């Protein structure tokens, strides 16, 4: 299945942040995203930018439990069109199946649903992100599915089981919200009883669902279009860079095409290999500097530079400052 490479920014996100007590401008600044993002027509985010937005919300929330604040702020008005459409479902099982089908239109997550005679389980996995996920993201997904079931049924639905790779520092408030222990696990997972999964949605609206379904399927069909060669090159570089493989020949071999063919395709798409390499290196460098304690020398190695000085010169060209200065500025911004 083709994975989405960009995700539409919903204006409702700004409303949701305000309802959570967060300043959208501060969130965008902390996430290093454009200040006018929510005002742009047809604005979108890459997977890396999507996760940075989460990190910006975490930083803006400070010590507050971001996932629980999200649960308290969720309302019909704040939903993405995909989720709003799924509220029209007859029950939770149907809604979860529909969300799984269209989940990739919302963000860089894959979702599987297993509906059985005794329970229904939902498992989530993320893609397009290097390093640990924002700690609140897994908890927020679990809170969202629980709140969705409660909002649609007007019943205090209690999950049977919950797990996440990283647990919140204070578990008691979450377990009070869920009415169920939150345990550490390899996957983001939530399980509902068969009774709750089949409980009728009071928000069911078959006619409205039919209206939404056509546009959602059109958006989904667009993902089925073949990836551009530039997108394939970016994906290959993400895999090859940590191994020190950075040449166009390395990428051509990974994509099973000749160097000449790869160059021709890139020319047709009006992009150069060196520009793509620089873009991927710059994105990864900023990620490593912002979210880890890895030294600039180690980052240079991870990005396929033979010498640290080459990385320093390239980073100054990308940003106007040294890696150390960029990291210090980033930390100072987050601290305030």
List pLDDT tens digits, range 180-225: 999 998 889 999 999 999 999 999 998 888 888 888 888 777 665 5
To the question of pTM greater than 0.95 for the whole model, the response is no
Picking from 223, 250, 281, the residue at the C-terminal end of a domain is 223
Task: Tell me which long-range contacts 110-114 makes (C-beta under 8 A, separation of at least 24).
Answer: 110/3
Partners of residue 119 on adjacent β-strands: 193
154 and 268 fall within a common domain: no
Assigned domain for 4 exists: no
Is the predicted pLDDT of residue 90 greater than 90, yes or no? Answer: yes
Phi-psi region of 216 (alpha: psi -120 to 50; beta: other; left: phi over 0): alpha
92 and 217 fall within a common domain: yes
Assigned domain for 218 exists: yes
146 and 264 fall within a common domain: no
Length of the chain: 336
pLDDT at position 170 is 87
Assigned domain for 268 exists: yes
Query: What's the domain count of the chain?
Result: 2
172 and 301 fall within a common domain: no
CATH number at residue 242: 1.10.10.60
Residue burial 209-236, b: 16+ Cβ < 10 Å; e: rest = beebeeebeeebeeeeeeeebbebbbbb
263 and 215 fall within a common domain: no
117 and 206 fall within a common domain: yes
**pLDDT tens profile 283-303:** 888 888 877 778 899 888 888
79 and 205 fall within a common domain: yes
Question: Residue 226 — pLDDT band, cuts 50, 70, 90?
Answer: low
219 and 235 fall within a common domain: no
Which whole number is the average pLDDT over 250-271? Answer: 90
Percent of the chain with pLDDT over 90: 40
133 and 245 fall within a common domain: no
327 and 184 fall within a common domain: no
Picking from 223, 241, 259, the residue at the C-terminal end of a domain is 223
Q: Which two tokens stand for residue 153?
A: 């049924």
- The overall average pLDDT reported for the chain is 86
Domain encompassing residue 192 = 66-223
265 and 295 fall within a common domain: yes
Spatial separation of the C-alpha atoms in residues 137 and 127, rounded to whole Å: 13
pLDDT at position 190 is 97
């Amino acid at each position: 299945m083709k994975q989405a490479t960009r995700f539409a920014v919903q204006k409702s996100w700004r409303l949701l942040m305000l309802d959570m007590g967060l300043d959208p401008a501060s969130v965008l600044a902390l996430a290093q995203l454009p200040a006018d993002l929510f005002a742009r027509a047809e604005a979108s985010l890459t997977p890396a930018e999507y996760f940075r937005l989460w990190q910006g919300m975490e930083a803006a929330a400070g010590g507050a439990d971001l996932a629980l604040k999200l649960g308290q702020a969720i309302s019909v008005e704040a939903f993405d069109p995909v989720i709003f459409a799924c509220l029209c479902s007859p029950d939770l099982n149907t809604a979860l199946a529909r969300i799984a089908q269209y989940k990739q239109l919302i963000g860089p997550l894959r979702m599987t649903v297993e509906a059985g005679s005794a329970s229904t389980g939902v498992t989530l996995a993320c893609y397009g992100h290097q390093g640990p996920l924002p700690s609140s993201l897994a908890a927020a997904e679990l809170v969202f599915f629980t709140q969705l079931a409660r909002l649609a049924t007007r019943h205090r639905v209690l999950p049977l089981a919950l797990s996440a790779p990283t647990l919140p520092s204070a578990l008691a408030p979450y377990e009070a919200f869920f009415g169920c222990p939150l345990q550490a696990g390899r996957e983001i997972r939530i399980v509902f009883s068969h009774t709750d999964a089949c409980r009728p949605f009071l928000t069911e609206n078959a006619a409205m669902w039919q209206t939404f379904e056509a546009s959602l399927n059109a958006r989904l069909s667009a993902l089925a279009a073949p990836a551009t060669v530039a997108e394939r090159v970016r994906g290959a570089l993400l895999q090859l860079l940590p191994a020190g493989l950075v040449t166009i020949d390395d990428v051509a071999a990974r994509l099973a095409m000749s160097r000449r063919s790869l160059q021709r395709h890139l020319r047709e798409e009006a992009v150069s290999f060196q520009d793509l390499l620089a873009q991927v290196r710059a994105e990864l460098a900023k990620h490593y500097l912002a979210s880890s304690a890895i030294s600039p020398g180690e980052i240079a190695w991870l990005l396929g530079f033979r010498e640290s000085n080459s990385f320093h010169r390239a980073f100054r060209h990308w940003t106007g400052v040294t890696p150390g200065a960029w990291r210090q500025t980033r930390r100072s911004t987050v601290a305030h």
